[in-house]
């Protein structure tokens, strides 16, 4: 019998979501999984298309227990997942763990696996959530943009998925070498990595009408 994992505010592990491989890295609390979801700009949605597996990357955002993504109304992906269960995978890579053997080398990461049933989002919620999406990417930007035209809203499909099952997994820290390898004269440690915004390149096709807002300037150097 697997050890009972206490979860105070999250997703008690199910047969499907219980992390078996290195279970000590498994996370099930909202407070542990949601920062992973919110830090990532993109996710990959896995589903069945004509009975065969396919995984499609897309941008996402979250509001409470609801995960959202959007795209063209013509998207085969979006059309085919409405009303169906999908698995969403998210990961951020934080470093390459260079052990003294290839076998013990690894990566530092934060990841989440989410399950839910997709529904189409329409009406006022769609408009509100489009702003929420913009705000996630560049806080304050939704107030600077013109309102969406009806035609643009029509050409956009938005999907929402209540997260019904979820697991997170984090690998951090240093090298876990086989003790026999500790005396090998090989450098070991972590090659740290991060994703960050690096600069603003103005659109050269249109005249510059104003300096970028402070909000945009503040994004430079922001770590994801
Ligand atoms: C950037 C990155 C690189 C990785 N590189 C490797 C690699 O090279 N080789 C390798 O074997 N593994 C790698 N992993 C770990 C991998 O994601 C799996 O956790 C691992 O392979 C065990 O798979 P399993 O099916 O045996 O997991 P199990 O523990 O049997 O999975 C059971 C359940 O645990 C949950 N779960 C499992 N893995 C994750 C996860 N990563 N995040 C959230 N929930 C999870 C899911 O709900 C899953 O259904 C990497 C992960 C990341 C994020």
- β-bridge pairing 26-27 and 189-192: unpaired
pLDDT in tens, the chain (224 residues): 667 899 999 999 999 999 999 999 999 999 999 999 999 999 999 999 999 999 999 999 999 999 999 999 999 999 999 999 999 999 999 999 999 999 999 999 999 999 999 999 999 999 999 999 999 999 999 999 999 999 999 999 999 999 999 999 999 999 999 889 988 999 999 999 999 999 998 888 877 777 788 888 999 999 88
Question: Which atom of ligand 1 lies nearest, measured to the CA of 167?
Answer: 44
What is the second-level CATH architecture of the domain 23-188? Roll (2.30)
Residues with CB under 6 A from ligand 1: 16-21, 91, 93, 107, 109, 111-113, 167-169
- What residues have CB less than 8 Å from 110, skipping those under 6 apart? 35, 36, 39, 91, 92, 94, 168, 170
Contact 85, 117 (CB under 8 A): yes
Atom of ligand 1 at shortest distance to CA of 112? 43
Q: What is the pTM of this model?
A: 0.96
Residue 223 CA to ligand 1 center (angstroms) comes to: 24
Rg of the chain over all Cα atoms, to the nearest angstrom: 21
From 113, 176, 195, the mutation candidate for ligand 1 (largest count of ligand atoms within 8 A of CB) is: 113
């Amino acid at each position: 019998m697997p050890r009972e994992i206490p979860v105070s505010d999250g997703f008690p592990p199910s047969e499907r979501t219980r992390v078996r491989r290195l279970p000590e890295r498994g996370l099930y609390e909202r407070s542990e999984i949601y920062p992973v979801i919110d830090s990532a700009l993109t996710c990959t949605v896995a589903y069945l298309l004509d009975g065969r597996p396919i995984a499609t990357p897309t941008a996402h955002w979250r509001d409470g227990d609801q995960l959202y993504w959007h795209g063209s109304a013509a998207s085969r992906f979006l059309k085919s997942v409405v009303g169906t269960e999908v698995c969403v995978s998210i990961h951020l890579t934080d470093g390459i763990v260079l052990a003294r053997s290839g076998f013990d080398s690894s990566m530092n990461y934060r990841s989440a696996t989410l399950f839910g049933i997709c529904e189409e989002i329409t009406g006022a919620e769609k408009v509100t959530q489009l702003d929420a999406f913009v705000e996630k990417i560049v806080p304050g930007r939704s107030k600077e943009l013109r309102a969406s035209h009806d035609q643009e809203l029509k050409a956009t499909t938005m999907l929402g998925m209540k997260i019904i099952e979820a697991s997170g997994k984090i690998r951090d820290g240093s090298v876990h070498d086989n003790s026999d390898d500790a005396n090998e004269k090989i450098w070991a440690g972590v090659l740290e990595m991060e994703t960050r915004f690096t600069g603003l390149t103005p659109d050269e096709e249109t005249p510059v009408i104003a300096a970028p807002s402070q909000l945009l300037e503040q994004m430079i150097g922001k770590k994801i």
